[in-house]
């Protein structure tokens, strides 16, 4: 439930429930199926922040309701044993972590640094990186290190951010530079990007949830399209590592809306196999939805409202 309520808007971007009806062109689901899904990005976001926007495809209300309407390509079957609360919070975690790892273009021979490895996006990313088999330097706290290693597998080495600067392990006197840095932390992007540029290989990639490269966009001197072109040219000439936006919109552009279904199904399968579980999850009955939003304002992790 990542959105705050706005005038005339029903918030909520992800859901789990039972199919009550299907459209004429739906082929993958039937009435009675238990499903997990996410709402259209345009429907769930544009109307909330830009009143009067047409909101893209007419997909009805958003997810915080007794009923919602969703695109078939953004829905997957829920494993029978999966808890409803876990299922209801899965869609955005699945597609965003998938987008971040996909943007890194990793293979088993690469080394990746994950900032915020124990967080709500870090843990699912660790599960995906385990599937790839690459070496992972996971930046987290000592308290969460064992949990990160359990999800990430034997190729994971943890760094306690409270006692060690992760960037200090690289450079002239340290280890060879990493191929990729994925920043899933809550720290400001500019410091992370500055460190990344200093330690990454010239052919390396920095992946972040921040859409705007702080080197250029913060100055508002040139249009974003030209910003991205300059960044790409610098990377092609190996003048600096590549800056990649790893949020789900990028995955939709490259793979289409069906990326949601594939990502959700993948994580549902990982959860069913015991290789991934939701963390920092708090559930409220709909009668206490005001408490849910109060916790959301304070950064309370993943929040689910049950109906």
For domain 98-249, give the fold: Rossmann fold (3.40.50)
Domain segments of the chain: what residues? Answer: 14-89+277-306, 98-249
Q: What is the mean pLDDT of residues 243-249?
A: 66
Reduced to 3 DSSP states, what percent helix, strand and coil does the chain have, rounded to the nearest 5? 40, 20, 45
The span from the CA of 27 to the CA of 30, in Å, is: 8
Q: What is the mean pLDDT of residues 187-202?
A: 77
The span from the CA of 208 to the CA of 107, in Å, is: 19
More confident residue, 262 or 196: 262
Angle of the 91-104 helix axis to the 122-132 helix axis, nearest 10: 50
Poorest-confidence range of 37-46, 121-130, 283-292? Answer: 37-46
Q: Are 257 and 73 in contact (CB under 8 A)?
A: yes
Q: What is the mean pLDDT of residues 110-129?
A: 94
Q: Check whether 284 has a pLDDT greater than 70.
A: yes
Angle of the 248-255 helix axis to the 91-104 helix axis, nearest 10: 70
Q: Check whether 294 has a pLDDT greater than 90.
A: no
Find how far residue 195's CA is from the centre of its chain: 22
Q: What is the pTM of this model?
A: 0.80
Q: Check whether 231 has a pLDDT greater than 90.
A: no
CATH number of 14-89+277-306: 3.90.180.10
């Amino acid at each position: 439930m990542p959105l705050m309520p706005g005038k005339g808007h029903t918030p909520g971007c992800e859901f789990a429930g039972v199919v009550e009806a299907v459209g004429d062109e739906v082929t993958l689901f039937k009435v009675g199926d238990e499903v997990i899904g996410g709402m259209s990005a345009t429907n769930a976001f544009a109307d909330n922040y830009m009143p009067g926007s047409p909101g893209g495809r007419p997909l009805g209300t958003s997810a915080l309701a007794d009923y919602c309407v969703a695109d078939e390509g953004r829905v997957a079957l829920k494993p029978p044993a999966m808890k409803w609360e876990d299922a209801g919070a899965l869609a955005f975690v699945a597609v965003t972590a998938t987008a971040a790892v996909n943007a890194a273009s990793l293979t088993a021979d690469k080394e990746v640094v994950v900032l915020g490895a124990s967080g709500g996006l870090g843990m699912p990313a660790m599960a995906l990186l385990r599937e790839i088999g690459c070496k992972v330097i996971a930046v987290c706290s000592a308290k969460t290190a064992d949990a990160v290693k359990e999800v990430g597998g034997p190729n994971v080495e943890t760094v306690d951010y409270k006692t060690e600067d992760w960037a200090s392990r690289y450079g002239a006197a340290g280890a060879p530079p990493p191929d990729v840095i994925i920043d899933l932390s809550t720290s400001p992007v500019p410091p992370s990007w500055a460190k990344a540029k200093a330690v990454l290989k010239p052919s390396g990639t920095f992946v972040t949830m921040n859409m705007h490269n702080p080197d250029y966009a913060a100055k508002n001197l040139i249009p974003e399209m030209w910003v991205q072109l300059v960044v790409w040219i610098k990377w092609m000439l190996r003048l600096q590592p590549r800056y990649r936006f790893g949020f789900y919109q990028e995955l939709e552009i490259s793979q289409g809306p069906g990326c949601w279904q594939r990502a959700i199904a993948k994580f549902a399968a990982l959860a069913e196999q015991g290789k991934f579980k939701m963390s920092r999850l708090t559930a409220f009955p709909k009668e206490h939805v005001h408490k849910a939003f109060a916790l959301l304002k304070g950064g309370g992790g993943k929040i689910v409202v049950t109906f």
